Structures are given as structure tokens and as C-alpha cells.
Amino acid sequence: MKILNLITNIMEKEERFLITSHVRPDGDSIGTQLALGIMLNDMGKKVTILNEDPVPKCYSFLPHSDWIKSSLNNDAHFDVAIILDCSEWERVGRIASIAQKTDVIVNIDHHVDGTGLGQYNYIDPSAAAVAEQAYRLLKHMKQPITYELALCLYTGILTDTGSFKHGNTTVHSHHIVSEFLKIGVKPDFVYRMLYERNNFSSIVLQGMLLSNLQISNDKCVAWTSITKEMLKKVGYNVEFEPESVLGMIRSIEGVDVVLLFRDLGEDKIKVNLRSKNGVDVWQIARKFDGGGHKQAAGCVVNATLEVAQQMVLQEIMEVMHYC
């Protein structure tokens, strides 16, 4: 593939690299950032990994997770900026202005609406995770897949496929992770680190969300919300990964779309959308300048919680007329 040749040449030629991804980073973005950072560091390059938001606790077990920073000296300059898992600059947050100052921009992304943010764009919507694209790049560069690289990339693929249960999981996904297992990655260890280190407050919050669960009259759409009042009770700084609650709600027979609304304050509502049975929630998220994938998407709605719920649910009902 021509683009892999071009990116390989850049990584071999240039010296100072900035790696970044989207706001509120997930397992795919963090795992891939670390994998590319480790590889470039092993090649003798100078690497800075920078995100707007810090690394969530559940990903702190990944090797060199402390390399990921959320602040930078103003006089820093880079030869190359690598933008991962983003199809628009707004998703990069305040780090976008730093990345845009670099001489070369490489964009590696697997979102269906990705058109490229730089001069060199490796866009592949068929990839289950950007970690799969990074794996192909490492193979193309003939870089050895060490345990550290395998652990980071496995985490990226695992989380972005919903533990291999989403429709984006492919034969290639399983072939790749089978190689990681041969290298020594232990699925039980990764699962325990990701999903079995919840604190008490996050479990209490999950209980509140399930208690406030609502369902449409046709039983096809279910949703719940994280309100300011809930956060006041459990603590505003509670670390919460929505996938566990979304997964439980998604398991309800007959429910095709699941929504989680989170009040971010200042009339900004974060919306996580998940689906099954062929419903395309990406098309819904796009209407609110969001993005993602067919079965997993997200957006931010500028409205009060009640109005945001009405707006998003109305859009969903228009595409759910078959229920």
C-alpha cells in the first residue's frame, strides 16, 4: 500500500514526533498511541505523546502510560504530528493548535467519515480499530512485535470491538490478536485490569443509571442519564467507563438502540449511542456533529439535558419506524 510506504519513510527519516488523539481518550486511542510511541522510541526518535485529557485509571496498567501528558512547554517544536482515531480537528481539542504547527501531519483513522487531516492520511473504515492499522504499519516497517507492543495493540482492538462482540470484529481482528496471545498477552489479565478495578463510587453510579432507565413505547430504544445531582452524590471526579452499563442495557431483548446522556455542564450533553440488529447510530450522531461507527457512536449536544434527550430521541424515532 502506497500510504504505508510514505508513512514508513517519514518515521525513518524524521526525528521529533508528536502523537495525539481525541478528547476523552479510549482504549484504542491510548493503546495505539503507546504502541507507536514505544516503537519510535526504540528507533531512537524523540517522542512526545500529548492528549487534552489524562489517561483513565483503567488504562494505567499499559506499559509507559506515564508517557502520555496533558500539558506541554510552549517552545516545543516537532517535525511530525501523528493524529490517531480522529476524523476532525475539533475532536483533537486544544492539542490541535500544537499539531497544526508541525511540518508534517500524519492521520491514521478508521472512522467512516474520515477524509484526512494531514498530508499523509491512512484511512481504513474496514479496520475494527486504529490499533489494527498500527499493527499493519509495524508489519510493513518490519518492526518486531514485542510483548509491550502486543499488549497495547491488543487492548486497542479488544476495547473498540466491545470485547469482540461488535459487528466491526473481523477474521483479521482474530488473526491479529492470536499473534498477540502467542507472544504472551493474557486475556484474563487484560480483562481484570480493564473491567475489574472499579471503585465504590462508580458502582453506585451504575446502580443509579439502571434505576433511572427509560424505554420507548415500542420497546426498541432504551436510555439513561448521568445528571449533576448524581455526580454530586458520588463525586464529580468519579472515573466511569460507560461500556458496562451500555452493555447491560443493550442486552435487553427487543432493544436495538441504547443511549447514555451525560451532563457536562454549561448546557453541553455528551451522548453515547450503541446499537444492534443493523441500526446505524453513526448516521444519528452525525446530525449533531458527532461521529463513530455504525454500532457505536457519540456526540455532544449543546442544550439542556431534557432538550438534548428530546432532540436525539426524535432523530432516532425517525429511523426506527420499522419497530
Give which of 25, 10, 47, 52 is closest to 131, Cα–Cα: 25
CB atoms within 10 A of CB 2: 6
Give dist(CA 194, CA 155) in Å, integer. Answer: 9
Q: What is the pLDDT of residue 321?
A: 64
First and final C-alpha spacing in the chain: 43
Q: What is the CATH number of domain 2-195?
A: 3.90.1640.10
Q: What is the pLDDT of residue 256?
A: 94
Point out the residues of the chain with pLDDT beneath 70.
74, 321-323
C-alpha to C-alpha distances, 79 to 15, 20, 59, 103, nearest whole angstrom: 7, 14, 28, 5
Q: What is the pLDDT of residue 46?
A: 97
Kindly give, in sequence order, each residue whose CB lies less than 8 Å from that of residue 94, ignoring residues fewer than 6 positions away: 52
Task: Report the 3 state secondary structure along the chain.
Answer: CHHHHHHHHHHHHCCEEEEECCCCCCHHHHHHHHHHHHHHHHCCCEEEEECCCCCCHHHCCCCCHHHEECCCCCCCCCCEEEEECCCCHHHHHHHHHHHCCCCEEEEEECCCCCCCCCCEEEECCCCCCHHHHHHHHHHHCCCCCCHHHHHHHHHHHHHHCCCCCCCCCCHHHHHHHHHHHHHCCCHHHHHHHHHCCCCHHHHHHHHHHHHCCEECCCCCEEEEEECHHHHHHHCCCCCCCCHHHHHHHHCCCCCCEEEEEEECCCCEEEEEEEECCCCCHHHHHHCCCCEECCCEEEEEEECCHHHHHHHHHHHHHHHCCCC
Give dist(CA 78, CA 308) in Å, integer. Answer: 40
> Domain 200-319, CATH 3.40.50.1980 — does that match?
no
Q: What is the pLDDT of residue 74?
A: 67
Domain ranges of the chain: 2-195, 200-319
